[in-house]
Copies of this chain bind each other. A is one copy, B any other.
Amino acid sequence: MITVDEARAKLFDLAAPLDEEEVPLTEAAGRVLARPVAARRDQPPFAASSMDGYAVKTTEVQLHAMFKVIGEAAAGRRFDGAVHAGQAVRIFTGAPLPEGADFVVIQEDISRTGDLITIVNEPGSNDNVRPLGGDFRAGLTVEAPRLLRPADLALLAAMNIDRVPVVRKPTVALISTGDELVMPGEAPGQDQIIASNTFGLKAMLEESGAEARILPIARDSHASLAMAFDLARGADLVVTIGGASVGDHDLVGQVAETLGMERSFYKVLMRPGKPLMAGRLRGAAMVGLPGNPVSAMVCGHVFVLPMIRAMLGLGAAAPGLKRAELARDLPANGPREHYMRASVNAQGWLTPADTQDSSFLSILAGSNALLRRPIGDPARAAGEVVEYLSV
């Protein structure tokens, strides 16, 4: 058996960054920028007024100075002409500053009578002008890789980037295995339970930028599993759930190997989730998760999401851990890294769930944290700072 970190390192070997594709700006949110993009223009593309007021020459700005208003400049409609001594142009926020003017006296500091204005309040030193390129100059790049957030989309729009090079979404095929499983909505027999892992994993992976499809349930037979692997063709990542130890056999692994899987590892020093398998099958990465619902979801957080991030070009890194204070004592951990279901409250106290049975989804759904206990972690007392994964 290997450690969690060793297993993750081997998984990253299977998870090379994917190629890029171009998407319209409206579909770029949450995608990963594949290469730097450069602004196609200066922003603002001209010196612009940042206020409503009157554009004049700085040298003439003083209390009680008078000007003749010779025109108007609004956003989208510049004043075609120049401002000379003693002249002013009525100007609105965002409008190009007229030639000859380099100061905007805000309208609150002006008294106007017909075409004549007077500065009636001390105008201060702020010129209320946004210089050409003050936000960015043509050629400014947004660096890659970068997970594009809403403000990035606004920035890309302002740069006049209408199509965005992003990393292709990893496609994931999810295969539940087991004679005991039926799909939600069916009428299960007395020995049967409902397949739940694929639904949780699909949501988890898609939240992180993958595209996951749920394949038909594979039965515990060579033929059924082989059919499922055929249906998974074309996916970047094939995830099986369960079947790693059916009877005395590692059935999924055996079938995958007859189909040509090069096995990377089998079993990890981890709770929950010991029977975890990985390899490469027909050019795709393959991960075999344990069948217990909680184990499958925890392994999703600890192993599969980092693979997705690596495929998206966001780097090969363990999931980020946060810190909280333990709300109660914990006994020493054993020889496997343990991810305990837990809740962190608003005050930053972490309470591990009383029941850590790896099949209890109600406990997992009520948790917002996985407390990470290293191998051989000693007993911990309430108040000690521990590390956890937000889920």
Which of A144-152, A279-287, A306-314 sits within the interface?
Answer: A144-152
B155 touches A361 (CB 8 A): yes
A25 within 8 A of B: yes
- A242 to chain B minimum Cβ distance, whole angstroms, is 8
0 or 1 for each of A181-198: is its CB under 8 Å from B? (1 = yes): 101111010111111111
Interchain CB contact under 8 A, A193 and B44: yes
Q: Within 8 Å CB of A293, what residues of B?
A: 154, 158
The docked-state distance in angstroms from the alpha carbon of A379 to that of B130 is 27
Q: Is the C-beta of A74 less than 8 angstroms from some C-beta in chain B?
A: yes
Contact with B along A45-68 (1 / 0, CB 8 A): 110001010000000000000000
On whether the beta carbons of B25 and A364 are closer than 8 Å, the reply is: no
Question: Assuming A52-B245, A362-B136, is B75 touching A153 (CB within 8 A)?
Answer: no
What's the least CB distance linking A211 to chain B, in Å?
12
Chain B CB within 8 A of A357 CB? yes
A197 to B, closest residue via Cβ = B154
Cβ of A156 within 8 Å of any chain B Cβ, yes or no, is yes
Chain B residues, CB < 8 A from A150: 200-201, 203-204, 207, 297, 300
CA distance in complex: A246, B72 (Å): 12
| Shortest beta-carbon distance from A377 to chain B in Å | 22
Query: Size band of the A side of the interface?
Result: 35 or more
A94 lies within 8 A of B291 (CB): yes
Q: Which of A26, A93, A153, A204 has the most chain B CB atoms closer than 10 A to its own CB?
A: A153
A199/B25 contact (C-beta < 8 A), A204-B150, A357-B50 known: yes
A157 to B30, Cβ gap below 8 A?
no
Give CA–CA (A158, B201) in the complex, Å.
13
Nearest-CB distance from A218 to chain B (Å)?
A: 12
Known: A46-B191, A50-B357. A155 touches B29 (CB 8 A): no
Q: Does A162 contact B (CB under 8 A)?
A: yes
